[in-house]
Amino acid sequence: MPDLSAHPGEPHYITRSGWLRAAVLGANDGIVSVSSLIVGVAAADPNPGSVFIAGIAGLSAGAMSMAAGEYVSVSSQSDTERADIAREAKALREFPEAELAELTAIYQEKGLSEKTALLVANELTDHDALGAHVRDELGLSEIHAANPLQAAFASGVTFSVAAAIPLIAALAAPAGSIIPVVLVVTVITLAALGSLGAKAGGAPVLRATARVVVWGVFAMAITAGAGWLFGVSVL
Ligand SMILES: [Zn+2]
């Protein structure tokens, strides 16, 4: 299909929103949850072996639950969309006049005169009645069509790749300095992720980066505190 965009140099980013959201969510969750886990365990017991085991367990459990959660939530969204479309198709079969009036009213609300709205509604109904109602009444479009497997895969993979970063940092850290090394690596990675996500989505970079970093550091601080408290009370 020819690119009909009036500004091909500045494309819209909304088409990326589905998998981008899953990917950024997965990566952010991967870094924050596994680095917090590592910092928490290291605060309680700085033995590299237990830190590594905790990191691996956190990575695999997190990736699976992230993918499963995304699959279930996106599947239920597409179930709802499919049920709505079936309801709409039934209404179009049983009450074509009422549906035409409804579509006309929708176009009037968008600013068309009654005469033009009726003309447009008639032409679009002749062309593809269900398509017109799904798009203009239900607000569903191909762009937003939920794809559970794609979303599950995107979030599971990005979770794992992102979670591997603090894990490798913990492995590479000199004994006794796991926490500061993981903290620094995590903050840098979160900042990179925040700006990448903002750029990919065409959103303001600074605000997105600050948001991701502040919440990440906050999560690590809470978990480190809990780990430290636990460590003190146990050891
Ligand atoms: Zn309708």
State in Å: Cα 158 to ligand 1 middle. 39
The pLDDT, as a whole number, for residue 168 is 95
Task: Supply the DSSP string of the chain, one letter for each residue.
Answer: -----S-TTS--SGGGHHHHHHHHHHHHHHHHHHHHHHHHHHHH---HHHHHHHHHHHHHHHHHHHHHHHHHHHHHHHHHHHHHHHHHHHHHHH-HHHHHHHHHHHHHHTT--HHHHHHHHHHHHHHHHHHHHHHHTS---GGG---HHHHHHHHHHHHHHHHHHHHHHHHHSPTT-HHHHHHHHHHHHHHHHHHHHHHHHT--HHHHHHHHHHHHHHHHHHHHHHHHHHHHHH-
State in Å: Cα 56 to ligand 1 middle. 51
pLDDT tens per residue across span 6-43: 777 766 665 556 667 778 788 989 999 999 999 988 88
What are the residue ranges spanned by the domains of the chain?
15-84+147-230
State in Å: Cα 75 to ligand 1 middle. 24
Global pTM value: 0.74
Name the residue with higher pLDDT: 125 or 25. Answer: 125
| Type of residue at 134 | V
pLDDT tens per residue across span 76-106: 998 999 999 999 999 999 999 999 999 999 9
How far is Cα 97 from Cα 84, in angstroms, rounded to an integer? 19
State in Å: Cα 87 to ligand 1 middle. 9
Residue with tokens 């009909």: 4
The pLDDT, as a whole number, for residue 208 is 86
State in Å: Cα 16 to ligand 1 middle. 28
State in Å: Cα 99 to ligand 1 middle. 5
